[in-house]
């Protein structure tokens, strides 16, 4: 037997018991006549003592030969610890070792296995299995497992059935590039890895399964933005005979359950705002509502004076920065430089200080008097002591820029408290989105999303105005879930494909199977998918999803531990019969 107890469970109540422990040598301290070894496993650390007087000098010699991360088994007796360590649960006892067995030796690890390690990101990723021995990574993986279990518990209890869908499939458009897999048996043909199980879950509804979920890997070959993974996990869900309201209620239920079980947070009900309202109030379709600084549109009060920058702008919009009047001129200049960085792209920033005596001092005093500036304060909700920051220009651009500033300032002001949770639904998304480069419309969510009732007619006359039965669940400024009510009628689906630029032949070749299925009694249906990696990271109070994935890929999509992707050998390549000259 390798162990009678684990390294985290012995207490004073075990004193005088004979025990067997196994684990890794965490640390050794040698005092000459006595040596201590911290033995570590998944559950904690137990101090072992090797004592010349109480045991033997041979044992002490053995203790000295143990290197960091050796795997050992010890037999011994639990005794009272002379100098107690209140910082660890086993800190009142130690194990007086009577026998040590080295189960495996270890090379010196390339970084310290400590909460605060000396290893950089790259080296930790190369030796991820050692990184996982560290508490922070281990705890994150345990936390993730807990979240997944709660998801399964809740959804199963609500009558959802977990169904696995295939991984070798045909393209499912979610707006990214497919990863493809050549088929050896079907020369010259390829599978695509699912960007999501979208079409399959819809077919399960046609199959009558009614409530489906799956915790599932999805694959998207995107140029990697910071903290995106080419393979990631979704909690994918679909329901039949539902309207938007049913879906929102069902998955608000799941999210509340997770917040309650995992974080002990009770949230009564989630606010809902439309996409248009989100853009107007926060310049963002995934607003962080843990703090205010809502947008105030200033066109009416700031245009038609002599300030041409504002007069020629489509939108003049500002936010009130709480306490911002304390910023020095230099700090405000720096902020202006910040919004002018190419990543944000504003042309400049106008500001107005709100002084404690109720007066204002702006960067455009030449054009605006106290009365004008008082109106700015009114519209942006600024109070004495605040700073009003104003951007202007093209409506869409300026909203995005001001949203970036709002988030940056909130971060600096410490308003983004990771232990506070502010979920909301954003609903009524546009059905289509104009691709500025090609001038074509594409589906904002995906091509299976249903327009809102009565809006189909608008598709011809004003495609950009058509709203969809599509919704996102937003948590602390992150989109953690998104879904829609689907089209379940073959004709409407064909019309949709036509508007998205598919010829009938292309639509048939790619999605004929779905449209065929719609001819056999497809029920009304809809669903949602949550990004599990991001959800877990946010619930864990952290930003980076990599820290919650056992074996993540780096920013170039590489797994540096197994060194993938990698070339394949000639024989394997030959078998695939790829005709590579295109």
Query: Would the annotation count 222 as a binding residue?
Result: yes
Beta-ladder partners of 162: 213
Please identify which residue in 476, 484, 493, 494 interacts with ligand ASP, judged by CB under 6 A.
Answer: 484
Pairing of strands 18-30, 34-41: antiparallel
> Tokens 């390294």 identify what position?
7
C-beta pairs of 497-503 under 8 Å, 24+ apart in sequence: 497/447, 499/432, 499/441, 499/459, 499/463, 500/432, 500/441, 500/442, 500/443, 500/447, 501/440, 501/441, 501/442
In 3D, which of 64, 66, 63, 69 has the Cα closest to residue 109? 69
Q: Looking at 112-120, 148-156, 314-322, 523-531, which segment touches ligand ASP (CB under 6 A)?
A: 523-531
At closest approach, how far in Å is the CB of 529 from ligand ASP? 4
Residue 291 or 429 with smaller CB distance to ligand ASP:
429
3-state helix, strand, coil in the chain (%, to 5): 30, 25, 45
174 binds ligand ASP (CB under 6 A): yes
Q: How many CA atoms lie within 13 A of 385 on its CB side?
A: 2
Q: At what angle do helices 135-157 and 532-539 cross, to 10 degrees?
A: 120
In 3D, which of 488, 476, 578 has the Cα closest to residue 537? 476
DSSP 186-222: STT-EEE--S-SHHHHHHHHHTT--EEEEEEEEE---
Query: Would the annotation count 506 as a binding residue?
Result: no
Q: Looking at 420-428, 482-490, 512-520, 540-548, which segment touches ligand ASP (CB under 6 A)?
A: 482-490
At closest approach, how far in Å is the CB of 534 from ligand ASP? 12
Q: Looking at 32-40, 278-286, 405-413, 527-535, which segment touches ligand ASP (CB under 6 A)?
A: 527-535
**C-alpha gyration radius of the chain:** 30
At closest approach, how far in Å is the CB of 141 from ligand ASP? 24
Q: Looking at 10-18, 303-311, 400-408, 480-488, which segment touches ligand ASP (CB under 6 A)?
A: 480-488
Q: Are the C-beta atoms of 180 and 191 separated by less than 8 Å?
A: yes
In 3D, which of 98, 467, 89, 485 has the Cα closest to residue 277? 467
At closest approach, how far in Å is the CB of 547 from ligand ASP? 23
Residue 28 or 196 with smaller CB distance to ligand ASP:
196
At closest approach, how far in Å is the CB of 320 from ligand ASP? 35
At closest approach, how far in Å is the CB of 257 from ligand ASP? 19
Instruction: Output the CA angle 216-178-239, nearest 5 degrees.
Output: 40
In 3D, which of 69, 110, 143 has the Cα closest to residue 547? 143
Tokens standing for 401?
A: 């820029």
DSSP H or E run through 296: strand 296-297
Residue 196 or 392 with smaller CB distance to ligand ASP:
196
At closest approach, how far in Å is the CB of 278 from ligand ASP? 18
Q: Are the C-beta atoms of 534 and 545 separated by less than 8 Å?
A: yes
Query: Would the annotation count 445 as a binding residue?
Result: yes
At closest approach, how far in Å is the CB of 47 from ligand ASP? 49
Residue 90 or 484 with smaller CB distance to ligand ASP:
484
Query: Would the annotation count 116 as a binding residue?
Result: no
DSSP 449-513: BPBPTT-TTHHHH-GGG-BBSEEEEEETTEEEEEEEEBP--HHHHHHHHHHTT--HHHHHHHHHH
Residue 403 or 484 with smaller CB distance to ligand ASP:
484
Residue 50 or 518 with smaller CB distance to ligand ASP:
518
Query: Would the annotation count 144 as a binding residue?
Result: no
- Sign of the CA dihedral running 85, 91, 96, 98: negative
528 binds ligand ASP (CB under 6 A): yes
Residue 484 or 494 with smaller CB distance to ligand ASP:
484
Report residue 570: phi and psi, to 5°: -55, -45
Please identify which residue in 230, 318, 393, 482 interacts with ligand ASP, judged by CB under 6 A.
Answer: 482
Report residue 361: phi and psi, to 5°: -140, 115
Binding mask 186-205 for ligand ASP (x = CB under 6 A): ----------x-x-------
Q: Which of residues 263-282 bind ligand ASP (CB under 6 A)?
A: none
Residue 103 or 161 with smaller CB distance to ligand ASP:
161
DSSP state of 100: E
479 binds ligand ASP (CB under 6 A): no
Instruction: Output the CA angle 489-491-497, nearest 5 degrees.
Output: 105
Q: Looking at 339-347, 426-434, 481-489, 564-572, which segment touches ligand ASP (CB under 6 A)?
A: 481-489
Query: Would the annotation count 221 as a binding residue?
Result: yes
Distance CA 109, CA 113 (A): 8
Q: Looking at 291-299, 326-334, 420-428, 476-484, which segment touches ligand ASP (CB under 6 A)?
A: 476-484
Residue 287 or 527 with smaller CB distance to ligand ASP:
527
Please identify which residue in 298, 459, 529, 549 interacts with ligand ASP, judged by CB under 6 A.
Answer: 529
Residue 296 or 482 with smaller CB distance to ligand ASP:
482
Query: Would the annotation count 38 as a binding residue?
Result: no
Q: Looking at 365-373, 379-387, 423-431, 524-532, which segment touches ligand ASP (CB under 6 A)?
A: 524-532
Query: Would the annotation count 220 as a binding residue?
Result: yes
Q: Looking at 51-59, 277-285, 461-469, 525-533, which segment touches ligand ASP (CB under 6 A)?
A: 525-533
> Tokens 């189960």 identify what position?
103
Sorted by sequence, the CB contacts under 8 Å of residue 186 that are 6+ apart come out as none
At closest approach, how far in Å is the CB of 181 from ligand ASP? 20
If binding means CB under 6 A, how many residues of this protein chain bind ligand ASP?
9
At closest approach, how far in Å is the CB of 471 from ligand ASP? 10
In 3D, which of 60, 75, 21, 28 has the Cα closest to residue 44? 21
Q: Looking at 202-210, 304-312, 349-357, 521-529, which segment touches ligand ASP (CB under 6 A)?
A: 521-529
Known binding site: residues?
174, 220-222, 229, 445, 479, 486, 531-534
Known binding site for L-aspartate: residues?
174, 220, 445, 486
Known binding site for ATP: residues?
220-222, 229, 479, 531-534
Binding residues (CB under 6 A) for ligand ASP: these are 174, 196, 198, 482-484, 527-529
């Amino acid at each position: 037997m390798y162990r009678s107890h684990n390294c985290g469970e012995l207490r004073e109540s075990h004193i005088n018991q004979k025990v067997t422990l196994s684990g890794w040598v965490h640390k050794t301290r040698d005092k000459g006549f006595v040596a201590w070894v911290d033995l570590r496993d998944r559950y904690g650390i137990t101090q072992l003592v090797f004592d010349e007087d109480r045991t033997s000098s041979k044992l002490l010699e053995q203790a000295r030969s143990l290197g960091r991360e050796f795997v050992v088994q010890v037999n011994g007796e639990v005794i009272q610890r002379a100098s107690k360590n209140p910082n660890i649960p086993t800190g009142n006892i130690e194990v007086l070792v009577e026998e040590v067995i080295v189960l495996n030796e270890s090379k010196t690890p390339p970084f310290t296995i400590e909460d605060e390690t000396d290893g950089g990101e790259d080296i930790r990723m190369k030796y991820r299995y050692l990184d996982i021995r560290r508490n922070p990574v281990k705890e994150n993986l345990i936390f993730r497992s807990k979240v997944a279990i709660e998801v399964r518990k809740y959804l199963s209890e609500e009558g959802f059935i977990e169904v696995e869908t295939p991984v070798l499939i045909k393209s499912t458009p979610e707006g990214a590039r497919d990863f493809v897999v050549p088929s050896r048996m079907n020369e010259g043909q390829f599978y695509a890895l699912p960007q999501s199980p979208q079409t399959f879950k819809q077919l399960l509804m046609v199959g009558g399964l009614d409530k489906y979920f799956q915790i599932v890997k999805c694959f998207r070959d995107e140029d990697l933005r910071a903290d995106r993974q080419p393979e990631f996990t979704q909690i994918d869900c679909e329901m039949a005979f539902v309207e938007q309201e049913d879906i929102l209620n069902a998955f608000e239920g799941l999210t509340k359950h997770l917040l309650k079980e995992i974080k002990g947070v009770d949230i009564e009900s989630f606010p809902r705002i439309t996409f248009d309202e989100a853009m107007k109030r926060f310049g963002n379709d995934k607003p962080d509502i843990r703090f205010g600084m809502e947008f105030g549109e200033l066109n009416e009060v700031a245009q038609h004076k002599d300030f041409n920058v504002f007069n020629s702008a489509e939108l003049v919009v500002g936010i009130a920065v709480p306490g911002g009047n304390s910023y020095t001129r230099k700090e405000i200049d720096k902020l202006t430089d910040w919004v002018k960085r190419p990543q944000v792209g504003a042309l400049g920033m106008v500001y107005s200080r709100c002084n404690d005596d109720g007066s204002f001092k702006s960067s455009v005093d030449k054009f605006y008097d106290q009365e004008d500036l008082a109106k700015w304060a009114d519209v942006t909700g600024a109070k004495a002591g605040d700073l009003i920051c104003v951007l202007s220009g093209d409506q869409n651009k300026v909203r995005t820029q001001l949203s970036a500033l709002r988030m940056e300032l909130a971060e600096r002001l410490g308003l983004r408290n990771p232990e506070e949770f502010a979920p909301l639904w954003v609903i009524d998304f546009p059905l289509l989105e104009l691709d500025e480069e090609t001038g074509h419309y594409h589906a904002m969510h995906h091509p299976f999303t249903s327009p809102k009732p009565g809006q189909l007619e608008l598709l011809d006359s004003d495609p950009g105005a058509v709203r969809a039965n599509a919704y996102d669940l937003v948590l602390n400024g992150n989109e953690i879930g998104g879904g829609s009510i689907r089209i379940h009628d073959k004709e409407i689906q064909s019309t949709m494909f036509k508007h998205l630029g598919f010829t009938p032949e292309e639509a048939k070749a790619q999605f004929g199977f779905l449209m065929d299925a719609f001819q056999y009694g497809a029920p009304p249906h809809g669903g949602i998918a949550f990004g599990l990696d991001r959800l877990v990271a946010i619930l864990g109070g952290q930003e980076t999803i990599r820290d919650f994935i056992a074996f993540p890929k780096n920013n170039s999509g590489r797994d540096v531990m197994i060194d993938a992707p990698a070339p394949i050998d000639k024989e394997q390549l030959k078998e695939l019969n790829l005709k590579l000259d295109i």
